[in-house]
Amino acid sequence: MLSQNFIDEVKAAVDIVKLAQRHTELKKVGDGIWQGQCPHPHHNDGTPSFTVWEKSQSWACMGCHSGKKNSKHKNYGSDCFAFLQWMEGIGWKQAILKLAKEVGIEPEQDQHAEVYDHKRRLAISYHRNMPPQVYQYLQSRGLDRHDLDDWSIGFDGLRITFPLFDRYRKVLGFSKRKFIETDESAPKYKNSSNSNVFNKSCYLYGTHLVTDDCDEIRITEGAMDVIVPKKYGVQNIVATLGTSFTEHHVALIKNMNKIPVFCMDGDPAGLKSIKKSVDMLAEAGVYSKVLLLPDGKDMTDIANEYKELTEDYIQDHAITYAQLMIQEVITQYDSKVNEIKLRLFPTVKQVLQSIKNGDERKVMQDYVYEKMGLKL
Ligand SMILES: [Zn+2]
C-alpha cells in the first residue's frame, strides 16, 4: 500500500513533457501546450494527434482517444502514471514505483497500513466465529452464507459486526448491531469512533461497489439496507449509517458526479432530514431525487419483498424533489378541504332534510354531491 503523500511527491517530481518527449517528438504550439505524433505503437498516427498540457501535467490523444476522461477504450486517466501504464502496459503501482526510482524518491509505505491490517484480521476472526443462532437471525433477514462472506459480516460476542470498507475495500472500522439484550439503554447500532483512518462525517457504507454503469447514487440508512438490495442487483447503493448528512458527504457525492436518490423513511423526522440533505446538495449545484419508503418499511424490507425487481421499484418510485414538494402541498390541500367538508356536513344535511318537496330534495342532493363530493 503506497501512501498518498508518496504518490503526490513522485507526481510533482516528474515532468510529463520530458517523459512524453522520450517517446515522441513534441513541438510547442501554444502557452504550455505541446503536440506530436501519438507515441503508442498501436496508433499509426500520420498527424500530430497527441497533446501534452504542461500546466495541468496531463496528456491525451485526439486520434485514438487515449488519456481522455470518457475514453471508450481502457481508461487509465491522463497523468504521468497513466502515460507509462498506457505506453508500457504495466500496472498503476508499477508505474509509480518505476517513476519514483527515476526521480530518486524512496517508496514510503502507507503509515496506516498496520491499522488496516489489524482491522482486517479482526474482521476475519469475527466472521469465522459466528454462532449458529446469529446466522439464523441474519438468514431470517434475507442474508445467506454468500452475503456474509461478501461483506465479511461477523460476531464479536455480543454484537453483529459489519466491517466498514473504504473505496478500496480496506477495513476502516466496524458498525456493530446489538444482538444480545444486555443493556436496554445501549443504542441498537454503534459505529467505530473517529480515528486516523475513519471519520464518520465523511463516510458512506458501500462505496467500494459504486460503478460508472449507473448514473445514480442511492443513499439509504443502515448496512443491511445496502447489503440486501445489493444482493438482488440494485446498483450504487450506499448508507450513512445513522450519522447526519454533512458538507463532507456533499463533497463526496459531488465528486462521484451522479444523481443522489434518497431512499428513506417518509415519516416527519425522516422527511425533515431528507429536506436538509437535499438543500445542502442543491446549494452545491447537485439535484437529488427522493424515494419515500412506505410506512414503517426500510430498504431491507423492500428488497426482501421485491427481490430482483427492487431496482425497478427504485426507478419507478423515485421522484424529483420538486415533485415531492408539490405532492406535499396537494396532501395539505386535500386535508384542509376534508376538514371543511366535515365541519359543514351537519349544516348541509340539515338544509337538505328541511326540503319538503322530494324532487327538489333529490336535485339539491345531486348538486351537493357534484360540488362538494358529499353523499347525503
Ligand atoms: Zn493515439
Q: Which CATH class is domain 113-198?
A: alpha beta
Nearest to 214 by CA among 195, 233, 241, 229: 233
The 10s digit of each residue's pLDDT in 5-54 is 888 899 999 999 999 999 999 999 999 999 999 999 999 998 999 999 99
Q: Following DSSP, what letter does each residue of 288-348 receive, concatenated?
A: -EEEEEPTT--HHHHHHHHGGGHHHHHHHH-EEHHHHHHHHHHHHHHHHHHHHHHHHHHHH
Dist. CA 146 → ligand 1 center (Å): 43
Dist. CA 37 → ligand 1 center (Å): 8
Phi, psi of 55 (to 5 degrees): -65, -45
CATH of domain 207-317: 3.40.1360.10
- Listed as own residue / partner, the contacts of 98-105 with beta carbons closer than 8 Å and 24 or more positions apart are 99/10, 99/14, 99/19, 100/6, 100/10, 102/14, 103/10, 103/13, 103/14, 105/6, 105/9, 105/10, 105/13
Dist. CA 99 → ligand 1 center (Å): 22
222, 239 contact by CB (below 8 A): yes
Dist. CA 153 → ligand 1 center (Å): 46
Dist. CA 50 → ligand 1 center (Å): 6
The topology (CATH level 3) of 4-103 is DNA Primase; Chain A (3.90.580)
Dist. CA 151 → ligand 1 center (Å): 41
| Digitized pLDDT (tens) for each residue of the chain, 376 residues in all | 788 788 889 999 999 999 999 999 999 999 999 999 999 999 999 899 999 999 889 999 999 888 875 545 555 678 999 999 999 999 889 999 999 999 988 887 677 888 888 999 999 999 999 999 999 999 999 999 999 999 999 999 889 999 999 887 889 999 999 887 666 777 788 899 999 889 999 899 999 998 877 899 999 999 999 999 999 999 999 999 988 899 999 999 988 889 999 999 888 888 899 999 999 999 999 999 999 999 889 999 999 999 999 999 999 999 998 898 898 889 889 989 999 999 999 999 999 999 999 999 999 999 999 998 888 8
Nearest to 312 by CA among 235, 227, 213: 235
Dist. CA 75 → ligand 1 center (Å): 13
Strand partners, 173: 164
Dist. CA 332 → ligand 1 center (Å): 60
- Domain map of the chain by residue range? 4-103, 113-198, 207-317, 337-372
